[in-house]
Structure 1
Amino acid sequence: MNCSSFGKCGSCVLWQVPYEEQLKMKKDKLKEMFSKFEIPEIEVIYDKDEHFRARAEFRVWHEGDKTYYAMRKRKEEGRGVIPIEECKIVDKAIYELMPKLMSEIEKNQNLRLKLYEVHFLSNSKGEIIVTLIYHRKVDESIAEDIKRLKDKFKNVDFIVRKKGRKYIFDKNYLIEELEIKGKTYKYKIIENTFTQPNREINKKMISWVLDNTSNLKGDLVELYCGNGNFTIPLSENFKKVVATEINPESIEAATYNAEINNRKNISFLAMSAAEFSELKKTGFFNSYDLKNVLIDPPRAGLDEKSRKFVNEFDNIIYISCNPETLKRDLETLSKNRKIKAFAFFDQFPYTNHMECGVVLERV
């Protein structure tokens, strides 16, 4: 990939490193980090190195009569943001929309005034949600300006945010379709809730989890299930699945996604992983044969209570966005277990980010 913003913005910190070398560098780093554990050969799972982000957030830079998208500066240049000409890592539909949208905003003082951030969310069909975030009071006149934008960009829905308020023009979600192992799964993805940012890598992550759970016995517990990203396809590998997520909007989407995919063997619960662990003591799960757990926690990894709960299961599938907390959690979870598989998913080329997948089996 070659981007005119390379060396200017602080997002692509590995901009000078060829992509194949980045993959090797990250794999070697993981081998070193987890050298004290008995791990199999690390699978390196990657896809294209440009136009891969289905979610993107940009600051806005105002300079006279001109307005630009902006990204944070490189660390070497201190704090703050700089205007950018383009961003090659975003989804092609977002990439093509960005300059056209900014051109329209520049022409309209009501849309331009104190516009602070612009967020994009896209699906595989090229539909987009654009969220405009303002540092000022927004009056009713903006509705007419948004309507004119909507007339110009037929594939875009708009949301306006200002302090504590949100105005939705049409809808705040998209329907995503992912083809995985010859089957198409549909997902409602809601603006401002977590969704996997790299669509192609997400499909490969789900395929990897499906392959590594195809022969497991017993039912499945999933913690941090989000909108059912893994839950929906995985439910085909298990008789029963119970999944939990603390975000109510994500649970709403997950329940809807189970319905539109006709998956009737999933129970979704709106609660934290820690609360869920307490539920087991009540006998709530007496009708389940709970031997397997899938976890995809935030960067902080598992808290002590959740780690203790997860350690009760025979088989653990751990998807991690932070190798440091994964390493800490494996200190406990790998005891009396064999690490059967270890994968590195390159969600974010040109960054130091490393997403990992680990499968542990009790011995």
Structure 2
Amino acid sequence: MIAADELRSLIPAVLGILVRRGADFAAAEDAVQDALIEALRVWPADPPRDPKGWLVTAAWRKFLDATRSDTARRRREDQVEDEPAPGPVSGLDDTLRLYFLCAHPSLTPASAVALTLRAVGGLTTRQIAEAYLVPEATMAQRISRAKRTVAGVRFDQPGDVGTVLRVLYLVFNEGYSGDVDLAAEAIRLTRQLATGIDHPEVAGLLALMMLHHARRDARITADGSLVPLAEQDRSRWDTGLIAAGIEILQAALARDRLGEFQAQAAIAALHADAQTVAETDWVQIVEWYDELAKLTDSPVVRLNRAVAVGEADGARAGLAALAELDESLPRYTAVAAYLHERDGDLVTAARWYAEAARKASTIAERDHLTRQAARLHARLRR
């Protein structure tokens, strides 16, 4: 009997095939879900030799039945093929088509993420809603609107790989909540994408995810407190995942087509490769931030670069780099606090930490910054 995870992995290929044959996205997605229910009922007693082929045939029949029974949809019967003969079905190109469809530029980032998790990831609406901590009805509406938006999209031109990668990175950064580990799900989906697209930036994103994920267990304490990189127990890092990520990154960099995810992964690799904080190669990290800044012209990248400059060339140099940036940037106040503390100005650092805590976007981050401010105030009172 096919496992539930394996069954879920077939969804994007089956859905992509139906869309290519002429079914609109919403109707195809409904048909695939109906076929999955039928599979769960039939397969225990009569497992198919070709699970994907069985699902394609069943889903196509469900789609045709729904189309023929709805008067308002009868015009579409002239636009779709009759039921194809049973036999092996292709899937890779159709799965890639689905990635691009779900990351269509007409969708908002939130809708693109939800649709990707539903259509490509095979997650239920309830699972996605729990992962994003919103009511199931709210997520159902979001997904329905997204499906309507892409219903008439035609793929007569190549999709944008960069948009797909940004959507997958958004999924990864959501981390974990509910019963779905979105970071692990994003890695799985990016691995799947990498099997169909020979692109160094796909490999770069996969490497970046793996390198970040390898440090996950050391980032948060048992009570949910954040642990800064410099204070993490590096024995808890997953060295196997780090080695695999670095290998993928090196192969991508060797192709000499540098992109932003490869540059980010190179920075993550330098952190992961250091056995101790003192061994971190900050000079190389600054150089990679310089490359990343050229690629993205992002003020957030320049903010992170200021931290690296402060480590490589001293706090004063870091503060000089920081002074070139807008104080309204997210995390500006936290970076300012850190660099002022390294420069020995504890009064200013404590004030900036308190300000950063008030601006924090998460409870864990707020609590961490509040503790930093309290720590400095305690030192000043001695």
TM-score with structure 2 length normalisation? 0.26
- Structure 1 or 2: more strand by fraction: 1
TM-score with structure 1 length normalisation? 0.27
Higher RCO (Cα < 8 Å, 6 or more apart): 1
Please identify the structure whose Cα radius of gyration is greater.
2
